[in-house]
Structure 1
């Protein structure tokens, strides 16, 4: 395991530093930090950045002295950061462990150890315009019927970023596709990929069927195109996540959220992303960081403060979830999460994103799905067998 360069210049008298991306509830997090300081006398500084992950990785490559003690980011890159020695394993207390849903812990578990404290969980679901859809379809096959009903009005039934593995994966996983086989200790076997599984092929064929019917434009959709059509009332449903709710509400769309429909009679299985607080390996404040997270940040009142600033989506905390239970959108999102599976976090995910993205572009352009997916799987297996080093994303 690589270790940070020597020369950590900060001392135990420095404040605890928390970094978070600018799109999260950083103002709420600042209020939480202030309350902790007032209670304990220990200063906590919250800093937020656009493209915070780039800044975090640059700070870590430089030894970490300019970086945070606590780093808040989704779990999907922890495999690389663990390998580089940038984040520390943690041993959550029993009260914290029992309050947080298991799927969230699964996301932050790798190699038999836990690498972060989950704050929220998210997965894509079916967001629908209530003015256009009375009852969301229970199967993807029903989408074609709904489209025929809406087509005379110049409205498409459904859209999503069709070239993105993240948004298209739930349809592929419905039929049994898997990214990498997971071992019992939570690690993954990069030589065993199932992106070319017959279920994934059927999903690719269904996507091309939607294009042939005009539900999806020929060549596919980008995220911005799907979002614009949804906001403009030209698209009735959208496969997206809780981060899109605020924009739809601002556009005056009365929307509902439902679990993704089935495909071929089997439930769609989205990636579950887990936003969590990680403790930096080289921090001089590791014990202090754990105290702040376990005994203050994860309390329902603290999570409520952050959520009031910017919605967390679905909280990982059971106690916080029950506070939000009256919100039908949160309930539906939790259903989507329980149907999904944690996004793999091993470094080889770089290969998955690269080669499945290329395969989906080809499928969008009309290449037979089986050919495109088998070629992508063969490339991933070849890289794993060769033991190729994995570049940081």
Structure 2
């Protein structure tokens, strides 16, 4: 996965907000009548679904229309294009009622006035795992329904490891043994903060302090005692030659994939997006949540949540939420997984055989519960580059972890301050 996808740093130019001429987020919604439930009942609502992933959404839309008498029009728009497009279409009166976005963009689009707070609030989030609930909450308010979750997990060659190690200490022993034969036991892109947050967070570091659902960009925990300990742990793998030098920098991902695909590495830290290519290379692939750190804590990976949100330009917010409650419910979420392998963060599905018997899905589900939602405030954009620089200094043993972390946090704070002026 490219870092651009991980960061999802889209820049949206917001047009001046004009009055809407019609309901349904656009002029093509038609007239409305009055229903005894849900207030004004529109002829239709419009949802933008990701491209080539609309079949199950269309089935859910048809069932909703049959039950509620409200047509749901499903339009396919690439997820990464939707924020920019709704900024143009919404004010023009031709936007949708519902959009899909990566959860880490919620803060930005809220600040730009593109999505609305959910009227059902915390009640809407009842069916979802806690990590997903946090992901769609911004400034203490709920802004979306979680669709799917992804996070890095442990992927390993079952021909070399019969089962996943219980601890990173066990995996370290595998790595030292493999090193004797010129191979690698475990590989991870720990000079990339997206992946490195796992051990840093597991030792007690954090990006922004979470105060009851409100992230505080003035309280950065990336140079506290735990964060430094996590960075020292990362440095250990590089310094002892357990990670190859080629794993540092822009070509690290390709180098890791090649070593694992050529069966010169036993296990890697990577996401579900890598599974298909590994299987194509003939790897007898196993998957599990990442092993516990030497301090006994979980590796706290960043978790990404694809999120449905109600457009701020919609005049059918109540009906949009009603449809989303159905669309992301247990039955439809399971159908989405079966069709598109999108892993739903619905608590009830954790024990469902469809999820439980799929190693990758079960691993993502388990890891997500221990993970941390990628911060969804705009200030997160100032974190990536300083932390990447700090991690590379540690990985190449050019600077100690404390100094590297201190420098990174200083730069992050300066950039945030400059952006807020």
TM interval, shorter chain, is 0.7 to 0.9
Closer/same/farther in 2, CA of residues 219 and 243 from structure 1, 3 Å limit: closer
Instruction: Compare relative contact order (CA 8 Å, sep 6+) and give the higher one, 1 or 2.
Output: 1
Deviates more, 1:223-232 or 1:71-80: 223-232
Match of 2:190 among 132, 145, 162: 162
| Residue 128 of structure 2 is aligned to residue 128 of structure 1 | no
The answer for the alignment partner of 1:216 in structure 2 is 243
Do 1:28 and 1:306's aligned partners in 2 also have CA atoms closer than 8 Å? Answer: yes
How many residues align structurally?
383
Q: What is the CA–CA distance in structure 2 between the aligned matches of 1:62 and 1:84, rounded to whole Å?
A: 14
1:291 positional shift: 1.9
| Residue 401 of structure 2 is aligned to residue 381 of structure 1 | no
Report the secondary structure of 1:192's partner residue. Answer: strand
Closer/same/farther in 2, CA of residues 55 and 112 from structure 1, 3 Å limit: closer
Q: What do residues 132-154 of structure 1 show as CA deviations (whole Å, max 9, x unaligned)?
A: 11233333333332123324555
Match of 2:276 among 229, 238, 246: 246
The answer for the alignment partner of 2:35 in structure 1 is none
Q: What do residues 149-168 of structure 1 show as CA deviations (whole Å, max 9, x unaligned)?
A: 32455532122223321111
1:39 positional shift: 4.6
1:31 positional shift: 3.2
The answer for the alignment partner of 2:6 in structure 1 is none
The answer for the alignment partner of 1:6 in structure 2 is 18
Q: What do residues 263-309 of structure 1 show as CA deviations (whole Å, max 9, x unaligned)?
A: 33232211222222111111233222112111x30232212221122
Match of 2:214 among 179, 182, 187: 187
1:349 positional shift: 0.6
1:94 positional shift: 8.1
| Residue 340 of structure 2 is aligned to residue 320 of structure 1 | no
1:15 positional shift: 5.0
Report the secondary structure of 2:170's partner residue. Answer: helix
Match of 1:338 among 365, 369, 382: 369
The answer for the alignment partner of 2:87 in structure 1 is 60
Give 1:157-306 correspondences, 5 Å limit: 157-184=185-212, 186-218=213-245, 220-221=247-248, 222-267=252-297, 268-294=299-325, 296-306=326-336
Closer/same/farther in 2, CA of residues 96 and 114 from structure 1, 3 Å limit: closer
The answer for the alignment partner of 1:111 in structure 2 is 139
Match of 1:18 among 34, 47, 62: 47
Closer/same/farther in 2, CA of residues 85 and 233 from structure 1, 3 Å limit: same
Closer/same/farther in 2, CA of residues 16 and 371 from structure 1, 3 Å limit: same
1:353 positional shift: 1.8
Q: What do residues 208-230 of structure 1 show as CA deviations (whole Å, max 9, x unaligned)?
A: 33223332121534223323332
Q: What is the CA–CA distance in structure 2 between the aligned matches of 1:302 and 1:73, rounded to whole Å?
A: 19
The answer for the alignment partner of 1:85 in structure 2 is 113
Unmatched tracts of structure 1, length 5 or more: none
Q: What is the CA–CA distance in structure 2 between the aligned matches of 1:160 and 1:47, rounded to whole Å?
A: 38
Q: What is the CA–CA distance in structure 2 between the aligned matches of 1:226 and 1:46, rounded to whole Å?
A: 39
Report the secondary structure of 1:239's partner residue. Answer: strand
Unmatched tracts of structure 2, length 5 or more: 1-13, 31-42
Q: What do residues 36-80 of structure 1 show as CA deviations (whole Å, max 9, x unaligned)?
A: 345545443334445x32442243156454543212223111111
Report the secondary structure of 1:263's partner residue. Answer: coil
Q: What is the CA–CA distance in structure 2 between the aligned matches of 1:116 and 1:59, rounded to whole Å?
A: 16
